[in-house]
């Protein structure tokens, strides 16, 4: 009976199926039937509500290709004047109760030699110890009475001395800076005292984890050039320095053609020009000295292991060869730096149930390594060279994985870059351009552009440049610079596991797409 019923239902089902297929075939071949396509896209069916996401479904709410935020279309007025002794005076005015004045010198640790390493940093500190017209205590007291903030910095190619003052004290600020730059005392007693202070600063390097790792990364990548030497100088050379070497460095590099003076905030351009002409007139236009180390630094891929088993955590720096400030890819690398971003365990992973929910791909990887607590992306661009990479800080257990994280996405992005990553980084860049309202930060933006490019690059131009950079452009950029490239790796701390690797080829293999998964090499 059951066999009879099953055969009956099968027969009926078969006949019904055949009839349906016959009708469908006849209908498909009929010329009188109009075939219509179906739109399966998500579209609003009625009036949009206040918090409807319909407008952002197509491109995540991103601006159209090449468009920039409306506020970035407006720039501050910028003026530049070159004085008779070669000093370039630049101003960028905007409404503020404050004003900033900075003296920038196109000289730094790159202009030293192995015998004079550390003179630029010592000179920066000695300038505030007294001039021919003021003692060191008088200088400090005068700056404090103005309510001003003084800051001196020595970098590899540029040194700076800045003052932030109230808008009515600009003339006094220029007069103080002019006295510092043109009439430094540079006496023997102050030099000996400051050398002891610098020695203590060197002793504290072991507590400045990221800064020391980055200095070592420069040395690892440019070990055959002075640009790879520490900006504070070689600590072993400090006892050999003399006051005459510091004076000679000042005489060789502090001249008109080598100086840019920048003012920002509530400041008049013509007033600043007149003040600079008065207080910096004694500086010569040029000097007979030959500039040191003008040859282009050669990037050297290498492994540098600084093992210290008494430390609790490891520091890792993974860096690649990168373009200079004047290279066409400069702003694309600035955008790439924001794609990698920064990571703090307490900020980026504290309230996540699943690290895969991170919008940042690198943060998603680091989130699987619970004791990797800090990550920062860095791009150091100079006049004729540069390095790009990432710094990691975490427990020694994850030292190998931190090195892997510094290479895997660089290569992976050479094959695929997500649009969302670019949108996120681009908007972060826009926000940074909009929030750069400080008088001192403006000075540090303007001066390097004058030295490296010979002009001011307004924020509207920067925004427009990155608005035309899409995921396809970034994919090609990463492929050109990182795929099958030679990274330079620096490890510092309890790094027994990674320092046992003898061959650079073992590291180099991670720059190919075939080994950028978790089953290979350093991640295991």
Question: Are both 235 and 382 inside the same structural domain?
Answer: no
Question: Are both 365 and 440 inside the same structural domain?
Answer: yes
Percent of the chain whose pLDDT exceeds 90: 75
In a domain, 261, yes or no: yes
Per DSSP bridges, beta strands 372-381 and 488-493 are unpaired
In a domain, 58, yes or no: no
Decide: helix, strand or coil at residue 11. Answer: helix
Q: Is the pLDDT of residue 372 over 90?
A: yes
386-395 sheet: strands from edge to edge:
303-307, 488-493, 313-321, 386-395, 372-381, 342-344
Q: What is the mean pLDDT of residues 214-228?
A: 97
Question: Are both 272 and 315 inside the same structural domain?
Answer: no
The rounded distance, in Å, linking the Cα atoms of 131 and 182 is: 9
Q: Please report where in the chains the tokens 């790439």 appear, as a residue.
A: 336
The rounded distance, in Å, linking the Cα atoms of 194 and 190 is: 6
What mean pLDDT is reported for the chain? 89
Give the CATH number of the domain where residue 149 resides: 3.30.830.10
Question: Are both 267 and 349 inside the same structural domain?
Answer: no
Residue 231 DSSP class: T
Q: How confident is the model at residue 360, as a pLDDT?
A: 86
Q: Is the pLDDT of residue 97 over 80?
A: yes
Lowest mean pLDDT, pick from 21-30, 199-208, 233-242, 350-359: 21-30
Question: Are both 308 and 226 inside the same structural domain?
Answer: no
Question: Are both 345 and 430 inside the same structural domain?
Answer: yes
The rounded distance, in Å, linking the Cα atoms of 29 and 275 is: 90
In a domain, 428, yes or no: yes
Contacts 24+ apart (CB under 8 A), 359-363: 359/420, 359/421, 359/424, 360/421, 360/424, 361/409, 361/418, 361/421, 362/390, 362/405, 362/409
Q: Is the pLDDT of residue 236 over 50?
A: yes
In a domain, 413, yes or no: yes
Which of residues 279, 312, 343 is at a domain's end? 279
Q: Is the pLDDT of residue 8 over 80?
A: no
In whole angstroms, how far apart are CA 428 and each of 336, 337, 341, 463?
11, 11, 10, 11
Terminal CA-CA length for the chain: 64
The rounded distance, in Å, linking the Cα atoms of 197 and 202 is: 9
In a domain, 330, yes or no: yes
The rounded distance, in Å, linking the Cα atoms of 327 and 296 is: 14
Task: Report yes or no: 496 and 508 within 8 Å, Cβ to Cβ.
Answer: no
Question: Are both 342 and 232 inside the same structural domain?
Answer: no
Q: Which residue has the higher pLDDT, 174 or 500?
A: 174
In a domain, 381, yes or no: yes
In a domain, 296, yes or no: no
In a domain, 129, yes or no: yes
Q: How confident is the model at residue 76, as a pLDDT?
A: 92
Question: Are both 271 and 405 inside the same structural domain?
Answer: no
Q: Is the pLDDT of residue 500 over 90?
A: no
Question: Are both 169 and 311 inside the same structural domain?
Answer: no
Question: Are both 204 and 340 inside the same structural domain?
Answer: no
The rounded distance, in Å, linking the Cα atoms of 130 and 140 is: 9
Q: Is the pLDDT of residue 468 over 70?
A: yes
Question: Are both 263 and 308 inside the same structural domain?
Answer: no
Which of residues 214, 245, 279 is at a domain's end? 279
Lowest mean pLDDT, pick from 28-37, 132-141, 416-425: 28-37
Q: In this structure, is the dihedral angle defined by the CA atoms of residues 449, 453, 457 and 462, taken in order, positive or negative?
A: negative
Which stretches of 23-66 are assigned E, i.e. beta strand? none
- Per the structure, the count of domains in the chain is 2
Which residue range(s) make up the domain with 222? 75-279
Task: Report yes or no: 178 and 89 within 8 Å, Cβ to Cβ.
Answer: no
């Amino acid at each position: 009976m059951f066999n009879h019923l099953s055969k009956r239902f099968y027969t009926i089902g078969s006949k019904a199926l055949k009839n349906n297929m016959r009708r469908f075939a006849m209908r498909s071949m009929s010329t009188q039937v109009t075939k219509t396509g179906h739109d399966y896209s998500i579209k609003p069916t009625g009036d949009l509500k206040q918090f409807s996401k319909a407008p952002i479904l197509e491109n995540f709410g991103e601006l159209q290709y090449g468009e920039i935020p409306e506020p970035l279309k407006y720039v501050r007025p910028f003026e530049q004047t070159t004085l008779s002794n070669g000093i370039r005076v630049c101003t960028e005015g905007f409404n503020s109760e404050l004003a900033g004045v900075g003296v920038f010198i196109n000289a730094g640790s790159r202009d030293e030699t192995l015998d004079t390493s550390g003179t630029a940093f010592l000179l920066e500190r000695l300038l505030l110890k007294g001039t021919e017209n003021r003692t060191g205590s008088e200088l400090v007291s005068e700056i404090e009475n103005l309510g001003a903030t003084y800051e001196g910095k020595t970098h590899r190619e540029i040194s700076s001395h800045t003052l932030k003052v109230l808008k009515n004290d600009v003339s006094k600020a220029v007069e103080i800076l002019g006295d510092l730059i043109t009439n430094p005392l540079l006496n023997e007693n102050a030099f000996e005292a400051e050398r002891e202070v610098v020695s203590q600063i060197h002793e504290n390097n072991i507590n400045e984890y990221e800064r020391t790792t980055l200095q070592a990364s420069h040395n690892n990548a440019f070990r055959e050039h002075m640009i790879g030497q520490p900006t504070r100088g070689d600590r072993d050379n400090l006892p050999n320095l003399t006051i005459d070497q510091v004076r000679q460095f000042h005489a060789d590099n502090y001249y008109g053609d080598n100086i840019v003076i920048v003012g920002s905030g509530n400041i008049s351009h013509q007033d600043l020009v007149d003040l600079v002409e008065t207080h910096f007139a004694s500086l010569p236009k040029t000097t007979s000295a030959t500039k040191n180390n003008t040859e282009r630094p050669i990037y050297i891929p290498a492994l540098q292991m600084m093992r210290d088993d008494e430390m609790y955590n490891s520091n890792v720096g993974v860096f690649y060869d990168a373009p200079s400030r004047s290279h066409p890819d400069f702003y694309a690398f600035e955008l790439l730096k924001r794609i990698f971003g920064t990571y703090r365990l307490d900020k980026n992973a504290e309230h996540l149930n699943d690290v895969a929910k991170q919008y940042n791909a690198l943060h998603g990887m680091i989130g699987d390594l619970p004791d990797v607590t800090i990550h920062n992306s860095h791009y150091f661009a100079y006049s004729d060279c540069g390095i790009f990479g990432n710094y990691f800080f975490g427990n020694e257990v994850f030292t190998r994985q931190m090195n892997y994280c510094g290479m895997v996405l660089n290569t992976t992005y050479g094959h695929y870059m997500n649009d969302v990553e670019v949108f996120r980084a681009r908007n972060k860049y826009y926000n940074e351009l909009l929030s750069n309202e400080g008088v001192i930060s403006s000075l540090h933006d303007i001066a390097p552009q004058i030295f490296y490019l010979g002009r001011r690059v307004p924020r509207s131009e920067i925004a427009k440049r990155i608005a035309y950079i899409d995921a396809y452009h970034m994919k090609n950029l990463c492929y050109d610079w990182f795929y099958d490239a030679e990274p330079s790796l620096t490890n510092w701390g309890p790094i027994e596991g990674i320092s046992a690797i003898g061959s650079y080829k073992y590291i180099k293999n991670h720059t190919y797409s075939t080994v950028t998964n978790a089953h290979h090499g350093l991640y295991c």
